[in-house]
Amino acid sequence: MTLGSKIAWDDTVLPFQLDKADIRGRLVRLDGVLDGVLRQHAYPPQIEALVAEMTLLTALIGQTIKLRWKLSLQVQSKGAVRMIATDYFAPTQDGEPARIRAYASFDADRLTAEPAFSQIGEGYFAILLDQGRGTTPYQGLTPLAGNSLAACAEAYFAQSEQLPTRFALSFGKSSEPGVPECWRAGGMMLQHMPQASPGADQGASGAAGLMHARDLVSGDNAENWTRVNLLLDTVDDLELIGPRLAPTDLLVRLFHEERPRVFATQPVRFGCTCSEARVRSSLSIYLARDIAHMTTEGGRVTADCQFCGAHYDLDPASLGFEAGKDAGDAD
């Protein structure tokens, strides 16, 4: 088996539970998904790293949402990285793959040689949940804190959901003679099962005055949480990426005394929802004079999808308010 070959557990999320510790988790392996996300753009290495990390977090967090729901993660910042946005589209039916897409917006002139997270300035980390037509989307956000996007996500769950949460992530490019270079990524999420009355009576000990997972557990729960986190600390990057280690084998290696129990695996794929029909729908709100301002010298209206890079070239006469009729001309 070569590192560049397709493996049965690539592009999957495996939910599990540690019965002895009252902790649930997910183990993700991504390769084609991350290749699909990153090959759409010529990102600098720092941006590739941030988008890869955000994509892993999205797969781990998104696996919990119900059929047909959409989960989005966003980072908005005043730094060189203005935004990182990801979407997780839950499958429409059981057994179908979920779809993930991601992109980043940044000022190339402001990027430095510092580590990837240093390119992000003051801002916030947000999770948005769209349950579909006829519902009000949920949005929760916390200030950016810590030294990684994973730390920001942990702070979000501690602060907004009062759920002790831990992430361990690894990603990078795999390259071998005679094998095309490809991305491989893996990660694990641990989360203490919800309690009827979360603790949080110890104050906030996290970065920027935010809650930390340790602030939410006490007694036996704190002991279990600490023990399982110490076990996760023993994992190495190659085990997480796992080209030669099945997810179930990794769980047994790390947590055999915690009685791990696994559930159905969720396949994930790179996928975008953009289409010409959606572009036309978004442009239909504009007046004819607005469409005229968008029209190129060649007499066309063009649009590019930030997520997948799809390019749309449209006839301006077929767009806008009443297909080119100005609102002032309406009866």
Q: pLDDT band for 276, please (50, 70, 90 cuts).
A: confident
What's the CA gap between 250 and 124, in Å, rounded? 33
Residues 40-78 have pLDDT tens digits of 888 999 999 999 999 999 999 999 888 889 999 999 999
Amino acid (1-letter code) at residue 32: G
Q: Which has the minimum average pLDDT: 85-94, 152-161, 283-292?
A: 283-292
With cut-offs at 50, 70 and 90, classify the pLDDT of residue 323.
very low
Question: Phi-psi region for residue 263, left (φ > 0), alpha (ψ -120 to 50) or beta?
Answer: beta
Q: How far, in Å, are 55, 60, 290 from residue 251 at the CA level? A: 22, 16, 57
Which is nearest to 31 in space by CA: 151, 136, 172, 140?
172
pLDDT at 202: 57
Kindly tell me if the per-residue pLDDT of 165 is higher than 50.
Answer: yes
Domain segments of the chain: what residues?
12-270, 277-329
The yes-or-no verdict on residue 244 having pLDDT over 90 is: no
Average pLDDT, the chain: 86
Q: Name the helix (H) or strand (E) containing 156.
A: helix 149-156
- Whole-number pLDDT of residue 255: 96
pLDDT of residue 20: 92
Is a pLDDT exceeding 70 seen at residue 295? yes
CATH number of this structure's domain 277-329, picked from the four choices 3.90.1280, 3.30.1490, 3.10.110, 3.90.930 = 3.90.1280
Q: Is 138 in contact with 129 (CB distance < 8 Å)?
A: yes
Q: How far apart are the C-alpha atoms of 168 and 152, rounded to whole Å? A: 13
Fold of domain 12-270:
Hsp33 domain (3.55.30)
Assess whether pLDDT exceeds 90 at residue 294: no
**Strand, coil or helix: 111:** coil
